[in-house]
Structure 1
Amino acid sequence: MFNKIVVAVDGSPLSLKAVDKAVQLQVLLPSVEIYLICVYKHHSLFEASLSIGRPVEMDIPDKVLSDYAKGVVTYAKEHAWQQGATQVRGFVKSGRPSKVIVRFAREKEADLIVVGTRGTHSDKDGMFLGRVSHRVTSTARCPVLVV
C-alpha cells in the first residue's frame, strides 16, 4: 500500500500531528519509510537589507533560516522516534514550500504526502486549508493526507 511517506514539517503543532499520523501508518505497515521535510523560503540579501531590525553582526538570511529549519526537522525526528517510528529521515530544502514538497515527493517516489491544515502562517488564500496544504493537494501526483 504505502512504502514512502513524505511529511511536511514547519514547527507548528499541526505539523507534529502530521508526523503522528505518518508514524501510525508506519506502525501498521512496518516497511514504510518516513521522510520529513522542512522548506524555508529563500531571502536575498536585498530583502534582508529592507528589514527594520539590524543585528550587530549581519548573518546571511538563508543560513539563519536553514539553521532554524534543521532544528525543526531534528525536533520532528525526535518526536517521531518517541511516537514509535522505526525509519525516519529528515531533509531541509529552500524554495517555495508547496512546489518543493511536491517535487521532493516525486523525486523520492513517495506514495503519500502528509501535511497539516495550517502551518505557522495562515491567510485567506487557503480558505479552510492553509495555503501550502491547499497547493500541495492541488498539484501532487500521489495521495495527500491533510491533518
Structure 2
Amino acid sequence: MFKRMLVAVDGSKTSMKALDQAIELQKLMPDAEILILCVYKHHSLFEASLSIGRPSDMDIPDKVLSEYAKGVVNHAKELAKEHGATKVRGFVKAGKPSRAIIKFAEEKDADLIVVGTMGTNSDKDGIFLGSVSHRVASHAKCPVLVV
C-alpha cells in the first residue's frame, strides 16, 4: 500500500505517537520505508544580533537548533528500531515546518505523511489541530495521517 512514509517529529508527545503509528503501518507493509524528518526554524544572523542579552560565546541559533533537531531525529530512529522498524532514515531541514514537510515529501516521493495533532509550540487548551498539522493536511499532495 505505502512504500515511503514521512514522519514529522519535533520531540513532542504527539509526534512520537505519529512515529508509533508509522512503525505499526510498516509492520503491515515490511517493504515500506520510514523517513523521519525534524524541521527547525531558520534564524538569520540579523535575528540573532537582536538578542538583548548576548553571552560572549553565543552560538549561532541555526547551529544550536540544527544540533537539537539532529538529536530529536536520532532519538526517534533509535525508538523506531527498538520497536521493530526495519527501513528507517532520518533527516533535518531548516525552514517553515509545514512548507518544509510538504516540500520534502514531494522531493522524496513520500506516499504518506504522518504528523502529530500538535507540536512543541502549541497550547493545548481546546484546540484539536495545530497550525503545522493543519497546513500539511490541507496542502500535501499525498495522504496525511494526523495522529
> Residues 123 and 131 of structure 1 are in contact (CA less than 8 Å); yes or no, is this contact kept in structure 2?
no
CA distance, structure 1, for counterparts of residue 21 and residue 128 of structure 2: 20
CA distance, structure 2, for counterparts of residue 143 and residue 53 of structure 1: 44
* CA-to-aligned-CA distance 1:45-70 (integer Å, 9 cap, x gap): 12112223423302111111100000
CA distance, structure 1, for counterparts of residue 55 and residue 34 of structure 2: 37
CA distance, structure 2, for counterparts of residue 21 and residue 85 of structure 1: 11
CA distance, structure 2, for counterparts of residue 94 and residue 71 of structure 1: 14
3-state SS in 2 of match to 1:36: strand
> Residues 7 and 35 of structure 1 are in contact (CA less than 8 Å); yes or no, is this contact kept in structure 2?
yes
| Partner residue, 2:76 | 76
Deviation for aligned residue 1:82: 1.2
Q: For residue 60 of structure 1, what is the amino acid of its counterpart?
A: I
Query: Number of paired residues?
Result: 145
Percentage identity across paired residues of the two chains: 70
| Partner residue, 2:21 | 21
* CA-to-aligned-CA distance 1:17-50 (integer Å, 9 cap, x gap): 1110000000011000000000001001121122
Q: For residue 64 of structure 2, what is the amino acid of its counterpart?
A: V
Deviation for aligned residue 1:122: 1.3
Q: For residue 9 of structure 1, what is the amino acid of its counterpart?
A: V
| Partner residue, 1:93 | 93
Residue 57, structure 1, aligned to residue 72, structure 2: no
Q: For residue 5 of structure 1, what is the amino acid of its counterpart?
A: M
TM-score (norm 1): 0.94
CA distance, structure 2, for counterparts of residue 83 and residue 14 of structure 1: 17
CA distance, structure 1, for counterparts of residue 73 and residue 89 of structure 2: 9
> Residues 18 and 114 of structure 1 are in contact (CA less than 8 Å); yes or no, is this contact kept in structure 2?
yes
| Partner residue, 1:46 | 46
Q: Any stretches of 5+ residues in structure 2 without a counterpart?
A: none
Residue 104, structure 1, aligned to residue 104, structure 2: yes
Q: Any stretches of 5+ residues in structure 1 without a counterpart?
A: none
CA distance, structure 1, for counterparts of residue 86 and residue 70 of structure 2: 20
> Residues 8 and 36 of structure 1 are in contact (CA less than 8 Å); yes or no, is this contact kept in structure 2?
yes
